[in-house]
Amino acid sequence: MQVLLAGNHKFILLELDPATIEAVAESAGFKIRINETDRALTLDLTLGERANPILLFDAADPANLGWFSRCQFYIDGRTGGVLQTPITVANKKDRSGRRLNYGLQVKIAKELPSSFRLPGRQPMNEQVFYSLFNNFLQALTKTGVAVCGGTVIQPLAGRTEAVASRN
C-alpha cells in the first residue's frame, strides 16, 4: 500500500496482486480473466460447472425477503457499486445482448481516498481487501447479494421479472 498525493488530495494506492486475486476467485469456484490498468483491475468472472446461477437478486421483491435478511453485501442498482467497498459490478452479456446468469464483470478500484473506511471504520489495505473479496465471492455463490433499486444491474436469481398487473 502506498500513499499518493495529487495536489491537495491524498489517496491510498492498493498494490493488489493479480495472482492472489485469481487464487481467491478460483477457490470460490469462478473462472477468471484479469485486465490490469494503473487505476483498476477489471475481472471477467464466470462460474465453473454449476447448476445454479450467481445469487444476485432484486432486494425490492417481497419474494426475496429471506435472501435479503441474510445479505452481507448490497449493490447500488444505479451505479453497480458494491456499497462501502472499492468494487463495482456489471452484468455479462452474450453476443445477442442477453445477460448471462453465470458471469459478472467486476472492477476493483486501486486508488481510494485516504478517508475511505469499511463498515466498522476499518481502514483498507491489501490483506483486508483479499478477505473482503473472498467474502463477496462466497456471498455470490452461497448466501446471495442484493441489488437495490435502479436498472443498470439486473438480478440473476430469484424472481427477476416484474409481476404484470391484473388490469
Strand partners, 107: 42, 88
d(CA 65, CA 164): 20
pTM score over 0.75 = yes
In a domain, 16, yes or no: yes
pLDDT on residue 165: 46
Reported in sequence order, the residue ranges of 7-161 that DSSP labels E, i.e. its strands, are 9-13, 30-36, 40-47, 56-58, 74-76, 87-93, 99-109, 111-113, 117-118, 122-123, 145-148
3-state helix, strand, coil in the chain (%, to 5): 20, 35, 40
In a domain, 165, yes or no: no
d(CA 27, CA 85): 21
In a domain, 155, yes or no: no
11-34 pLDDT, tens digit each: 889 999 999 999 999 999 899 999
pLDDT on residue 164: 45
Average pLDDT, the chain: 84
In a domain, 72, yes or no: yes
Structural domain boundaries enclosing 36? 2-148
150-160 pLDDT, tens digit each: 777 777 766 54
Tally the domains of the chain: 1
More confident residue, 150 or 63: 150
In a domain, 167, yes or no: no
% of the chain residues with pLDDT over 90: 39
Give the pLDDT mean for 60-84.
78
Least confident of 52-61, 74-83, 124-133: 52-61
